[in-house]
Amino acid sequence: MTQSKVDPRILRTRKLITDAFIELSGRKEFKDITVKDITAEAMINRATFYYHFEDIYDLLEKALSEVLLIDLNCETYQDNELNEQTLVDIFKVITNFQMSLSNRCHRGYEDTIARIIREQLEVIFYKMLLNQQPTVDDEALKLTGVMLSWGLYGASVEWKRNSTVKPEAFIKSAIPYIISGIGLGS
């Protein structure tokens, strides 16, 4: 199977639109950003915007997914071992991501943001578990990935809501129980 190469102009234009959106979201709430604002900031026309994105919500989802994907550096994590340090590192990425959104487009879009975070974590955890326990039933590993993603995301929400300690200090107290609970401890 041959993978088709994406035209660099398409990649540049998508980046231009995404960068314009991120720039605008630093100045305005998401609900106040229009396609017209984005096209003016990116210096493109509406047809170009709609060639790349269905609407502003599609742009929001793809921009957030891309930022989180880059922050999580999925390739690196999915090849790593699922251990205490990896869980701490992933938790720090999630909390940093959420904090970077808190002044931008977060309000009113918590469900979208939560789904993006959980979906990416599910894939990472599944691949990490598969690398460590290749003989375990595939569906069990997928379910464990889902549970870990929801748990880590939920802990990040709790940290953001109530914590005065750094993310790594917050999550470290629970990690031994997580590790022993999923049978990865020594």
Query: What pLDDT was estimated at residue 75?
Result: 61
One digit per residue, the tens of pLDDT, for the chain of length 186 reads 445 677 888 889 988 998 898 888 777 777 888 999 999 999 999 999 999 999 988 888 888 777 777 777 756 666 677 888 888 888 998 888 877 765 555 556 777 788 888 988 998 889 888 888 888 888 999 999 999 999 999 999 899 888 788 999 999 888 888 777 655 544
Question: Rounded to whole angstroms, how far apart are CA atoms 97 and 169?
Answer: 17
Do both 102 and 44 map to the same domain?
A: no
Last residue of one domain, picked from the residues 17, 35, 53:
53
Provide the domain count of the chain. 2
Q: At what angle do helices 84-101 and 56-72 cross, to 10 degrees?
A: 150
Do both 77 and 134 map to the same domain?
A: yes
Last residue of one domain, picked from the residues 53, 69, 90:
53
Question: Rounded to whole angstroms, how far apart are CA atoms 63 and 99?
Answer: 16
Do both 96 and 66 map to the same domain?
A: yes
Do both 79 and 168 map to the same domain?
A: yes
Query: What pLDDT was estimated at residue 28?
Result: 79
